[in-house]
Amino acid sequence: MPELPEVETTRRGLAPHVEGRRIQAVTLRRPDLRWPIPPEVARDLPGQRIQAVRRRAKYLLMDTEAGSALLHLGMSGSLRMLPATTPVTAHDHVDIALAGERGGAGRVLRFNDPRRFGCLLWQAPGQIHPLLQGLGPEPLSDAFDGDYLFAMSRGRKAPVKTFLMDQAVVVGVGNIYAAESLFRAGISPLRAAGKVSRERYAALADAVKAILTYAITRGGTTLRDFLSPDGAPGYFEQELSAYGRGGESCPRCGRPMKQALVGQRTTVWCGYCQR
């Protein structure tokens, strides 16, 4: 599933093309994706000007005066800007047609999702959608640091990797980036969250920020079907130090990397470098 850098890459790719543009029409080729598409999407979006494209956790919000379209890419979804005349292909479920500039031909924002695990929902003005309630801070915000992690982890017996992936603790740190951050910080993913010191949490928070920031600049991580808005795959995958490298040599010490299931997710770490 696309993680935070993939979603942020998509947001940054779309924003210059849609912000300030007026929506001409919304075409829904099916009534649902993961969940039914609310009637407000097709009823209230046409005629509205897109004020901003924001990201919260792994969700994208397209803000207008009437409300916000709330999108999630699921496991295989993609959003692309295309000429309005581009033929529709299989799994092109939603088109948001934008008015052209100076009377020119418009373009469409097309949502393609073969597995239909993504969603297109609605957030009314002044409200927070239930899916966005109870979420932790953004990992790249000032609210996320070692002191915060230390305070949130006291008394927690769950493995620190599970703790780091808890969306109520911090949003958007999925399996790949949790594994990479723990490796950089030298912390075993199996260590109880409540047993990690304040100093080590400071190193972990710094690692999360550095790795996510770098992954965004590199276009995210290629995950099977993931493509950025321009159709190009992410490039961070080739630089992973831990994720997907079970049994391979540790890039630091050369010893074989260990692999196990932690919280039902495959976890790779170095038993020597990570304690």
Among the listed residues 58, 110, 161, 245, the single catalytic one is 58
| Residue 268 and residue 179 in contact, taking contact as beta carbons nearer than 8 Å | yes
Among the listed residues 3, 6, 8, 237, the single catalytic one is 3
Active site residue 209: no
Active site residue 224: no
Which tokens in the block code for residue 114?
Answer: 């073969």
Among the listed residues 22, 116, 209, 265, the single catalytic one is 265
Active site residue 195: no
Active site residue 8: no
Which tokens in the block code for residue 256?
Answer: 């074989």
In this structure, the strands spanning 78-83 and 107-112 are antiparallel
> Which residues are known to be catalytic?
2-3, 58, 265
